[in-house]
Amino acid sequence: MRAWFQILLCAALLFLCVSCEISQESPAPAVVIAGTPGIGDGNEYIRDTDFEPGTINPTPTEGTPTPSATETPTEGITEETSEETSEETTEENNPETEPEATGDATGAADTIQPFEPEEPSGETEFASGNTLPATVQDPYPSGYQTVPGLENLSNEKMGWYYNRNSEHQPPTAQRVFDIRDYGGYYLGDIENKIVYLTFDEGYENGFTGPILDTLRDKNVPAAFFLTQTYIRDNPALCMRMAAEGHVAANHSVTHPSMPDKTDEDIRYELTETARYYQEVTGYRMAPFFRPPAGEYSARTMALTQANGYKTVFWSFAYEDWLVDKQPGKDEAYNRVMDNLHNGAIILLHAVSESNAQALPDIIDSIRAQGYAFGTLYELP
């Protein structure tokens, strides 16, 4: 009997010992608070999606590794969430997304949707009777190229000039260096009766629409040199230029004196204008550049060429940009006709009311003298 009692007592003691060990090994249930680090191995973070990306709340305890202030913990966040956050940031931080139209002479709607131009096919016949393969109708400036010996080129600032004559002969121009060495032009085809109409566009004064109407009605190609601010403020007119077959060319972002700019600044002035034009219109900008105010140097022309552009000056221009000092229709007409010559690159400012009024008669008289209108893509 006594032996049985001892056996039962030992069993009871053994049971109590086992129960005690189990109790010591079982911790209380964990409570996880969103945003609190220290879960698992100390490198995982549970982030409340209401927190701003890149922040962790509350402050982690000492000794716990934390991401930097600019990092967003990605563990446990789906790829879809990450893409959505990136897309929202892009739209909010990019002021050039969906630029608003501010109105222009065409009376277009306020919201402008980019064109979806079709791929060109076949050949296009120009007014001069020449044809160009479709592959060169929509060229795009090549990537930035280094210029060997750039440090040896002069950056002396020069202003473009030419020497008029009264014999209707191609004029001479500056002879400090040959601009053709750097893809420069001020004359076109001087062997034939071809002229090239070009317009500079820095801001809109209400006459680009009527100018485009005249060019359309007379079936005349032209080139428009556009600044970025002009593109921003007049997207419908810029799209119309391209849609009606004109050359939309580069006139820089900020209209600076190019020799005053660094190499990178010059690259920005060229590439950003082209990028923005394509973003707004859906068309690629033509690879022609006109230096603001006609100011240039051997260095800036070499850099312009390295960025895939031809520099286009002029063999005729006059003081037509002063909107409060317009010469009148007849004077504008006479200025152009008195300086007509083979290969003339004619520079007119589209802000001029006199130019807009005289343009129909100018076109008719140029043709009556046996000239044809060429495009910058036909420059020799």
Q: Which residues are catalytic?
A: 200, 349
Q: Cβ of 183: how many Cβ atoms within 10 Å? A: 20
Instruction: Report the distance separating Cα 204 and Cα 213, nearest Å.
Output: 15
User: Could you give the count of Cα atoms lying within 13 Å of 46 in the half-sphere of its Cβ?
Assistant: 9
Q: Write out 152-187 in H/E/C secondary structure.
A: HCCCCCEECCEECCCCCCCCEECCCCCHHHHCEECE
Torsion of CA 301, 303, 307, 309, to 10 degrees: 0
Residue in 178, 159, 161, 345 with CA at minimum distance from that of residue 257: 159
State phi, psi for 299 to the nearest 5 degrees.
-60, -50
Q: Helices 208-218 and 235-243 sit at what angle, rounded to 10 degrees? A: 10
> Do strands 345-349 and 172-173 pair parallel, antiparallel, or not at all (unpaired)?
unpaired
CA distances 114 to 97, 168, 262, Å, are 12, 43, 33
In sequence order, the 6+-apart residues with CB closer than 8 A to the CB of 93 are none
Instruction: Report the distance separating Cα 47 and Cα 28, nearest Å.
Output: 24
CA angle, residues 23, 25, 28, in degrees to nearest 5:
80
Phi-psi region of 245 (alpha: psi -120 to 50; beta: other; left: phi over 0): left
Q: Tell me the longest C-alpha to C-alpha distance in the chain.
A: 145
Residue in 356, 346, 114, 363 with CA at minimum distance from that of residue 223: 346
> Do strands 288-289 and 223-226 pair parallel, antiparallel, or not at all (unpaired)?
unpaired
Instruction: Report the distance separating Cα 28 and Cα 51, nearest Å.
Output: 29
